């Protein structure tokens, strides 16, 4: 069997195995396979003489190093990824002929890349930003890329404006500041003068912009696509990813501190949980609208600044994605993966969504400049698992060795092959939508409502979420230097909510609006994180403890917490081990110097009999910060006595109990609650 045929007929994991190289225990060679006897010294004319031009090994080594970096993505540069599998729950043949959505017993390999949008590759991961959620399905019919975000809408309605929003939100060109942030003049000037951004800006100022982890955020396809079934009937569709752990976020002060304490916080969380076997799971959901109902709603279903409210168009869960393997090499996989919304399979098609239409042009162009030429599909991570045959040839980095004379269509020398496939043979046919009209640069009147869904979003928020949005506007606009831009934003968002605009106007020193408001009273419960799943699984709990603890009780509590899926980690003064009063030993995972409360979801205070002033000070700061971020706090034994003397002991979400089983039950409930917003400092 030829190498070409072999690589096209094996699974994605087996295919990647052909490209994996483990250098351990091997002899050093050049890239041509020549074994080298020396790698410490360049070839010289004498021990102290000049390096010679003939030193081919030095030149190859340094030249490769000089070219190791490829241009980073303009957006979504900071990303991390993992492998997994997708399995549909039941056949979707009523709506689509896509084969990977037909057989509930079959699995489809996938590769998922999460990312921030604005920052460069070296930026922190917990900044306020949109998150990318791009999934590559390696189906038997070819690659399908679902290029999604963690917000269901976008800043603009037409792809021609994409360079404008990116230029505006990126660091300002005169001083290249601020990095990975929208808190500056040009972004807010863009919003004020491109009011279609109102809805997306509400999402960006919400808790959705600072997710707790990649594992706890939704994904949305944003654009409107089509399903097409085998009879040729079409349906409008939007794609959703629903996380099994629910949708949870950080608080802003915590997010800023994590950026300094651990700028790799999100990728570390994903990597460590996959390594531990805590495989992240997401359910694929679809919203489907019949073709004849295109104009049934009070919003244009092709407008990317609008969502389809789930109470109006329900989400049907059709399958599960499980991420079960980390990458072997970040550059080869995560950095070189190339997504494109135009990578579709039979049964999935496009609509006239003008943002989608622009994306269909842009993505190929981006990959050409980043990955050095037209053969980026041959990079192992991008290569489909099914055979591919066409008359494309040559170009930078070509790996396929095509045999034979013929590289054109039509031909007789090769029996007119490769030839197009019929629909019955799995050939892709575009949906035959009737299109007519004058050539015009314009936008439909149905796209001109920029505020009603922004108000819907505001109405749907809980009291705590509204408070966070107000604080986000106050922070971001507090960084804006132009008083004119500040005032424009206040006046603009008075159209969304007079309460919102008046509150942050006072914070930023702008004139409070005297008119405005909205008559929209509808809300959508699905938009509030208060209504999400609340589970304790994989939550990290800091256990603050020192020598002299109650061994039997603490061992029972820690073991019980682990059984619920909670991940306790021991924090004490020094690394090594600590001993309980009965000789029980615990391994210390962190010291107060090497970790921080913002890196944990909850705190369990045990203390012990051997406590000094330094421990009390460090523990006090640790616990108080967790408390101020509304996290669950638990305490038993000496920890309970200590906390009872402090005002924190009376707060909501604080569990104080020396009876081990009762403590575990109540503390796990508090952990599942994520944050306890009722708490007043």
Annotated catalytic residues are: 76, 149
Q: What is the dihedral of CA 16, 17, 21, 24, to 10 degrees?
A: 140
- Please state whether beta strands 540-545 and 348-349 pair in parallel, antiparallel, or not at all (unpaired): unpaired
In this structure, what is the dihedral angle of CA atoms 571, 572, 576, 577, given to the nearest 10 degrees?
Answer: -90
B/e letters for 422-458, b = 16+ CB within 10 Å, e = fewer, are: eeeeeeeeeeeeeeeeeeeeeeeeebebbbbbbbbbb
Residue 620 DSSP SS3: helix
Contact in structure between 255 and 169 (CB atoms under 8 Å) = no
| Six token digits for residue 115 | 């990312």
Q: What are phi and psi of 541, to 5 degrees?
A: -120, 125
Sign for the CA dihedral angle at 230, 234, 240, 244 comes to negative
* Closest by Cα among 543, 550, 553 to 660: 553
First vs last C-alpha separation in the chain: 71
Check: CB of residue 464 under 8 Å from CB of residue 677.
yes
Query: What is the Cβ-side half-sphere exposure of residue 245, based on CA atoms within 13 angstroms?
Result: 24
3-state class (DSSP) for residue 111? strand
The three-point CA angle 287-291-292 to 5° equals 125
Structure tokens at 298: 């009070």
| Cα angle 94, 99, 105; round to 5 | 95
The Cα 22–Cα 29 span in angstroms is 14
CA dihedral 367, 132, 489, 179 (to 10 degrees): -70
CA distances (Å), 385 to each of 14, 91, 543, in order?
A: 10, 22, 46
Q: Are 569 and 542 in contact (CB under 8 A)?
A: yes
Host H or E run for residue 241: strand 234-243
Write the DSSP symbol of residue 123: S
Q: Which residues contact 231 (CB under 8 A, 6 or more apart)?
A: none
Cα 461 to Cα 526: distance, rounded to the nearest angstrom? 10
Q: Is the peptide bond before 410 cis (omega within 30 degrees of 0)?
A: yes
Distance CA 307, CA 335 (A): 31
| Alpha-carbon dihedral 608, 612, 615, 618, rounded to 10 degrees | 140
DSSP category for residue 295: T
């Amino acid at each position: 069997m030829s190498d070409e045929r072999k690589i096209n007929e094996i699974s994605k994991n087996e295919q990647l195995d052909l490209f994996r190289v483990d250098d351990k225990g091997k002899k050093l060679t050049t890239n041509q396979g020549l074994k080298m006897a020396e790698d410490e010294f360049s070839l010289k004319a004498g021990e102290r003489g000049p390096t010679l031009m003939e030193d081919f090994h030095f030149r190859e080594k340094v030249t490769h190093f000089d070219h190791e970096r490829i241009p980073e993505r303009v957006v979504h540069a900071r990303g991390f990824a993992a492998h997994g599998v997708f399995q549909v729950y039941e056949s979707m043949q009523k709506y689509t002929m896509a084969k990977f959505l037909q057989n509930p017993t079959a699995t489809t390999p996938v590769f998922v890349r999460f990312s921030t949008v604005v920052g460069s590759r070296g930026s922190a991961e917990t900044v306020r930003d949109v998150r990318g959620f791009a999934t590559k399905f390696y189906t038997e019919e070819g690659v399908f890329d679902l290029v999604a975000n963690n917000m269901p809408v976008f800043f603009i309605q037409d792809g021609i404006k994409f360079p404008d929003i990116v230029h505006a939100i990126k660091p300002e060109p005169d001083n290249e500041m601020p990095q990975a942030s929208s808190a500056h003049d040009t972004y807010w000037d863009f919003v004020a003068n491109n009011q279609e951004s109102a809805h997306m800006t509400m999402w960006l100022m919400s808790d959705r912009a600072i997710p707790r982890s990649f594992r706890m955020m939704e994904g949305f396809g944003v654009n409107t696509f089509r399903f097409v079934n085998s009879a040729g009937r079409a349906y409008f569709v939007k794609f959703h990813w629903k996380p099994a752990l629910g949708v949870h976020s950080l608080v802003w002060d915590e997010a800023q501190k994590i950026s300094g304490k651990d700028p790799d916080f999100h990728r570390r969380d994903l990597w460590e949980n996959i390594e531990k076997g805590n495989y992240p799971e997401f359910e694929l959901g679809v919203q489907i609208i019949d073709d004849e109902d295109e104009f049934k709603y009070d919003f244009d279903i092709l407008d990317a600044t609008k969502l389809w409210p789930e109470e109006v168009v329900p989400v049907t869960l059709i399958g599960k994605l499980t991420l079960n393997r980390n990458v072997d090499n970040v550059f080869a996989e995560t950095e070189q993966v190339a997504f494109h919304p135009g990578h579709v399979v039979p049964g999935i098609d496009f609509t006239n969504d003008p943002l989608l239409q622009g994306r269909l042009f842009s993505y190929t162009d981006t990959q050409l400049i980043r990955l050095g030429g037209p053969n980026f599909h041959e990079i192992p991570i991008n290569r489909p698992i099914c055979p591919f045959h066409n008359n494309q040839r040559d170009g930078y980095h070509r790996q396929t060795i095509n045999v034979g004379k013929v590289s054109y269509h039509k031909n007789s020398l090769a029996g007119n092959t490769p030839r197009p496939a019929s629909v019955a043979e799995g050939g892709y046919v575009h949906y035959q939508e009737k299109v007519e009209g004058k050539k015009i640069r314009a936008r439909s009147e149905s796209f001109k409502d920029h505020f009603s869904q922004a108000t819907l979003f505001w109405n749907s928020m809980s009291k705590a979420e509204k408070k966070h949005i107000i604080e986000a506007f106050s922070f971001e606009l507090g960084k804006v230097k132009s008083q004119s831009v500040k005032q424009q934003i206040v006046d603009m968002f008075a159209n969304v909510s007079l309460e919102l605009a008046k509150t942050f106007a006072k914070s930023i020193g702008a004139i409070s609006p005297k008119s405005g408001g909205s008559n929209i009273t509808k809300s959508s419960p699905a938009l509030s994180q208060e209504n999400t799943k609340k589970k304790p699984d994989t939550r990290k709990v800091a256990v603050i403890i020192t020598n002299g603890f109650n061994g039997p009780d603490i061992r029972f509590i820690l073991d019980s917490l682990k059984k619920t899926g909670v991940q306790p980690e021991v924090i004490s003064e020094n690394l090594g081990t600590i001993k309980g009063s009965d000789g029980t030993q615990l391994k210390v995972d962190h010291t107060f110097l090497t970790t921080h409360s913002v890196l944990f979801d909850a705190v369990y205070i045990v203390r012990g009999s051997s406590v000094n002033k330094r421990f009390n000070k460090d523990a006090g700061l640790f616990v108080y910060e967790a408390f101020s971020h509304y996290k669950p706090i638990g305490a038993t034994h000496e920890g309970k006595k200590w906390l009872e003397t402090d005002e924190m002991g009376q707060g909501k979400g604080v569990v104080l109990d020396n009876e081990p089983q009762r403590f575990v039950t109540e503390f796990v409930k508090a952990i599942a609650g994520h944050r306890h917003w009722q708490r007043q400092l």
